[in-house]
Amino acid sequence: MTGFNLRQVRLRPGEEHREALDVELPAFEFGGQRYLPIPERIPAELVVTRATTGTVFALAFTTRLHGPCYRCLDDAVLEVPISIREYQASSPDDEELTTPYIDNDQLDVSAWARDAVALALPDKILCRPECAGLCPECGKNLNDEPHTHEEEHGDPRWAALEALRNDLG
């Protein structure tokens, strides 16, 4: 995993340090499916800025995730641009003024990037916006073979009510 040692950066208030990093991203489990970032190591820019009361961390990168489409299970590729910030107070008395990604002057860039990508993902990852999905009757991909089925299959649990409706109608 990618980390950044904060001891190597000595900044006074108002100064910033820029660093180009290759961030290692793990595979994602999303909606019961596995999505792989390709490439696994993504070029990113880390900016550390010293403020009067603490330190501001900024990270920017773009990743591509490969995995199954939510509707048709074909390959889907999703490009996810990320631009995030975290703040660490100099005297962290309040839990809201600390970042969970720093431990013993080590910034866990991979965990931070993974969480940011997870939060940026859409509800459904699709191969294309107009994906038709799979046929509920036969399971064929409707993108490749658009079709309809002639006979209508009703839910057998409603058969008694259907018979009653036919008798009354």
CB neighbours (10 Å) of residue 82?
A: 18
Cis peptide bond upstream of 39, omega within 30: yes
Question: At residue 28, does pLDDT exceed 90?
Answer: no
Residue 117: predicted pLDDT: 94
Integer CA distances (angstroms), 9 to 35, 86, 100, 105, in order? 34, 17, 19, 10
Q: List pLDDT tens digits, range 66-103.
A: 999 999 999 999 999 999 999 998 876 767 788 899 99
Residue 98: predicted pLDDT: 85
Confidence of residue 125 (pLDDT cuts 50, 70, 90): very high
**The pTM of the whole model exceeds 0.75:** yes
Q: List pLDDT tens digits, range 50-76.
A: 998 899 999 999 999 999 999 999 999
Question: At residue 133, does pLDDT exceed 80?
Answer: yes
Reduced 3-state DSSP string for 90-140: CCCCCHHHCCCCEECCEEEHHHHHHHHHHHHCCCCCCCCCCCCCECCCCCC
Token pair for residue 7?
Answer: 């001891």
- The sign of the torsion formed by the CA atoms of 20, 24, 27, 31 equals negative
Average pLDDT over residues 141-166: 84
The domain segmentation of the chain, as residue ranges, is 3-131, 133-169
Dihedral through CA 47, CA 50, CA 55, CA 61, nearest 10?
-10
> What's the chain's length in residues?
169
